[in-house]
Structures are given as C-alpha cells and as structure tokens.
DNA sequence: CCCGTATGTATCGTATTGCGATACTTTAGA
DNA sequence: TCTAAAGTATCGCAATACGATACATACGGG
C-alpha cells in the first residue's frame, strides 16, 4: 500500500489489470463485468477495456452463454517460466521426491507470499481432492505449520507483530483463533526448529512444517509434510518423520533476499 | 495477428505488458531491460515502466546484482485460479490418477494452445527431470503424439494446413522434419483413433496420444502417455496400453468451443 | 588501472491514449 | 410483455503514458 505512488513510472492501466486478474484468484474463478466492478472497485469502462484486451490476447476464456470470463491455460506458461528461473524449486524438487519415496507421506514446498503460505511444489500420496494436488494454493500463514515454522526464524519482534496483525482463516472447529496462542506456538517452533499443527486446516490432518533457512538464519520457505491422524499420533510423527525432514531441510542453500522483501507488515 | 486493431477498446500498455511477460516464457527465464527490448521490440522507456510496475506489484523478482528480473511465484496464483475454473482439468485429474495406478506409466493431459501442445496435468512415475514434472511446458504440436492426435480430429483440410505451416522443433536426431510425413502420420492417427510417436521429443521414449473429443468429434486436448523403449515395444504398447487409454478418453465430456477458437490459422 | 562501451536510471514536454459519463442493446425473470 | 440488470458501444476531454534524450553506473579489455 504505502509505496505505490512514489515511483512516477508506474503504469496505471497495468496496475489495474493486475488487480483485476487477482480477483480471479480469490475464490471467484469465473466472473462477469459487474462482479469485477464490485470486487475491484474499478470503473466499468476500464474493466470492459481490460477484459477485451486480455480476451483478445487469449488470456481469458469467455463463456458466450453467461458472458463471464475465466483465466485461460496461457497462464500456466508464466507458472512454468517461474519454476524454470526459481533456484529454490529446482533444488528442492528432487530431494522432495526422494523423501516422498522414503517416507510415503504427502510432501509440499511451502513459500511465504505476503501474509500467506503458498504451496509451490506438491507430492500427494493417494487420491486426494483435486485442489490438494494443485500448486499456487494459499492459506493464511498463521494457520499453517509451514507459516509458523517460517515465522519462527524471523525473531520475536517480527513474529509477534505478525501473530497480532496478519489475517486468520477458520477452516475447522479446531482452527486456532487465539492470536496469543499462535504467538506461543511460533515461539515453541523456534525452540524445536519446526512446527506441528493438528487439524487446523483439514480435519484428521497433522501438518509438519520445517523451515528452510538462508545462511543468515531466516526462512522464506518450508518443507511441509501432511499425515493422517488415523494412522499417526503426534508423538510418532515427531519421532519418525521430523528427524528425517530436518536433515533434508538443512541441506538446502537459499541465497539471502537482497530484493524488496517488502516485509508484508502493516 | 489479424484482428488486433479492430477493437478500439484495446489497452496498448496492457498488450505490451503481456508481450513482455511472454518473453520470460520462451526459454529466457531471467531477463534484463536491454534483452527485453531486443526480444519484444518495445521501446526501452516502456520496458522500464512495465518492469517497474510489475516489480512494485510483486510480480517480478529482481536480482540486484545482475539487475535482471524473473517471474515471482505470484503467477502460480493465476495458474491455480485457472485450474479451479477449468471444467476439463478437474474432470480428468481423478481419472488420470486411477489410470496411473493401473498402468504404472507416466500420464499427462495435453492441451492445444495456438500451434503448440501444453502439458496441463502431469503424473510422472519415477524421478524424472525437474522440467518433466512441470505443467505449462509446451512443444510444437506437430512434434508430439498428443498434437497429432488432436489434429487428426480436425478434418483433412485443417490438419493438412497445420502440417504445412505450423512450427516444427528439432529435439532428437529422430524428430521428423518431413511435413508430408507428418501429414501422413496424422491421417494414420485419424484411422486408428490415436497417435504414437517414437523418440521424436526424447530419446528412448514412446509417446501415445489419445484425443479427448467433444460431442462434435473435434478435440482440443489429449491424454498423453509416455513409456520407455527399454521396457516396451511399440506393439506391446498398442496391445496393452492403448485400449485402456481409449476407453478412458471416451468417457470425458468436453463442451463445444463457442468461444473464439481463433483457429490459429490466418 | 583507466578508459570506453554497454546497460540501467532519471527527466521532461507533448500528443496520444486511456478515461469515465452516457446512451444503447441484450438478457433474464416476473 | 414488461422491467431491471447486465453487457456493449460511443465520444470528447485531459490526464497519462509515450519516446527522445541526458545522466549514472557496471563491466571488461588493453
């Protein structure tokens, strides 16, 4: 929010277009003009022009019956290009694959993305829900073991602040809503070197988050392991899975973030 | 190309930005200003502005050392939103998963995207290359079994035209360069109801492409199965894999394309 | 080590271009 | 059939993005 206007070389039309595109991500995947006006607050005429442009460029599919739009598969190209250029994914992928063979559990790479956790690599084990296999899914960082694991490396000041201000979701009856409790859990994760959560996002699911630290000790990503409460207890998971996961996470080399970092505060 | 300008409600800045973004996809995943100017032909000042905007929106990561940019993981959000809204992927995924359990072979969903094939769902079997696990990868349609399978449903006129004009790559010594031969292979696929290719994209690989037809009989997508020549012969694959794959592909319901279709001819 | 070139950054006046108001057309539901 | 809501088209204005140019910084060879 803060530093939008300082650079006078910002293209307004492009900013708006991105805002509009993001609207498709936030739960509403199929949208018409008026809905977009409501969601984004952009003028109808502008929405009209942006949609026309994106559509004519093949980036949007239009349902001629309902006159509503959805994102085309051309966007997968951007995702692909991201992965190719991303030093972390290419490094983590093969190790994650081996780990999955060894442990037989669902594994993800989770990255911090503003105040959310995004699953960027996914290796499911059995037939899960379709959504469960897709990369790009996000959850509020505070709700997830991965998010707490990452925050636990940022130092008490920053994680306290995050625990108090970052958004929270409500997924199951057992999703922790108590921000003080969350701060405690992060502190615990700081001591342990990893975070465990129980049924906070999905019922019957234990989440294990292991931070992937840069040389400076801060993490922007985590290995996330998801196991079922019907086959595992928390203690079993701690004893059998955590050590292996910690071993793996330690071996990654993550360069320091010289870039914006933008700290996602306020 | 043809119908760019007829609509006067096209936003120039946005079109340019998309062109610039696409440059990251085409093999060059990390780019500086000057390189982008070369690749896209856009004025340096414009490139500068677009990059500044995208960067400040968090869509690009900048390496402060080399001053070059790459796509951030925010784009995965767009990919995610695409999948959520796409009726085909969500339909195919579970069936593909079952198939993979049954056959134990690498399976993909391949979709036509202009003159290319894009792998939009991937279920690899063993530790393959990183790229081999990523969705959004494209190859010239003419080079792949999936592309030929799809074209074989479009009728002789259109597939002849495609065979003569669509781009061709050269991946292995055995990649067919003869456009006449490719037209023949498509015709063969039309008779058989599927396409098989041998070592045209990857050495030691047999590709099997099964069209997923809409009620009208035309396909925009294909199931693609990749098997190793060290364990299989072409005849074995035809006998053991193809029937099962055909059975599966037949059961999908793909709505007709009322949308642009844009036929990628010109 | 210094210089020359190539690349990235900042500035600025102008006319182009995207803006938003409004009027028109189509759809869907009562 | 009518009405309200959603989508589409038009148009004049001025704000905005444009591109030329000048300035700064990085890189690499002699």
The string of pLDDT tens digits covering residues B210-226 is: 999 998 899 999 999 99
Statement to judge: residues A97 and A217 lie in one domain = yes
- 3 state SS of B154: coil
Edge-first strand order for the sheet with A219-228 is: A138-140, A116-123, A106-113, A219-228, A205-213, A195-198
Closest nucleotide over all strands to B68 (CA to C1'): C8
Statement to judge: residues B234 and B153 lie in one domain = yes
A18 CB near a chain B CB, below 8 Å? yes
CATH of the domain at B37: 1.10.10.10
As a whole number, the mean pLDDT across chain B is: 90
CA–CA separation, A75 and A25 (whole Å):
12
pLDDT > 50? residue A265: no
**Candidate from A24, A90, A127 with C-beta closest to B94:** A127
Residue in chain B lying closest to A15 (CA): B53
Q: Which run of H or E residues covers position B22?
A: helix B12-25
Statement to judge: residues B121 and B45 lie in one domain = no
Share of chain B above pLDDT 90, in %: 73
Give tens-digit pLDDT for B69-85: 999 999 999 999 999 99
CA–CA separation, B103 and B231 (whole Å):
13
Statement to judge: residues B24 and B102 lie in one domain = no
Residue B7 within any structural domain of the chain: no
pLDDT > 60? residue B55: yes
Residue B196 within any structural domain of the chain: yes
pLDDT > 90? residue B258: no
Rounded distance in angstroms from the CA atom of residue B48 to the C1' atom of nucleotide C9: 9
The number of domains in chain A is 2
**What is the residue range of B140's domain?**
79-250
Statement to judge: residues B53 and B120 lie in one domain = no
**Candidate from A13, A29, A79 with C-beta closest to B76:** A79
**Candidate from A59, A61, A94 with C-beta closest to B259:** A61
Q: What residues does B61 pair with on adjacent strands?
A: B70
Q: Within 13 Å of residue A172, how many CA atoms lie on the same side as its CB? A: 14
Residue A263 within any structural domain of the chain: no
Statement to judge: residues A57 and A92 lie in one domain = no
How many A-B residue pairs are in contact by the CB < 8 A criterion? Answer: 213
Residue in chain A lying closest to B126 (CA): A97
Per-residue model confidence (pLDDT) at position A254: 86
Residue B141 within any structural domain of the chain: yes
CATH of the domain at B212: 3.30.450.40
Residue B4 within any structural domain of the chain: no
Q: What residues does A234 pair with on adjacent strands?
A: none
Statement to judge: residues A92 and A223 lie in one domain = yes
With CA atoms as reference, report the closest residue to B233 among B263, B193, B196: B196
């Amino acid at each position: 929010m803060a530093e939008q206007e300082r650079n006078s070389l910002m293209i307004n039309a492009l900013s708006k277009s991105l805002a509009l595109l993001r609207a498709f991500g936030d739960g509403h995947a199929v949208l018409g003009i008026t809905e977009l006006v409501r969601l984004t607050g952009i003028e109808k005429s502008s929405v009209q022009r942006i949609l026309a442009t994106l559509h004519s460029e093949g980036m949007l599919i239009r349902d001629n019956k309902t006159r509503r739009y959805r994102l085309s598969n051309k966007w997968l190209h951007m995702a692909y290009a991201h992965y190719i250029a991303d030093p972390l994914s290419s490094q983590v992928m093969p190790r994650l694959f081996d780990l999955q063979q060894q442990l037989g559990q669902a594994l993800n790479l989770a990255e911090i993305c503003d105040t959310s956790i995004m699953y960027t690599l996914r290796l499911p084990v059995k037939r899960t829900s379709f959504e469960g296999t897709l990369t790009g899914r996000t959850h509020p960082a505070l709700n997830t073991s991965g998010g707490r694991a990452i925050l636990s490396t940022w130092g008490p000041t920053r994680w306290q602040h995050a625990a108090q201000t970052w958004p929270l979701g409500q997924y199951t009856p057992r999703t922790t809503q108590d921000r003080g409790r969350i701060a405690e859990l992060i502190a615990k994760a700081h001591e342990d070197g990893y975070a465990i959560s129980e049924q906070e996002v999905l019922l019957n699911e234990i989440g294990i988050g292991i931070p992937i630290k840069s040389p400076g000790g801060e993490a922007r990503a985590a290995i996330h392991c998801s196991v079922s409460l019907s086959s595992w207890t928390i203690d079993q998971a701690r004893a059998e899975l955590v050590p292996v996961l910690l071993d793996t996470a330690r071996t990654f080399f993550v360069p320091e973030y010289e870039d914006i970092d933008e700290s996602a505060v306020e």
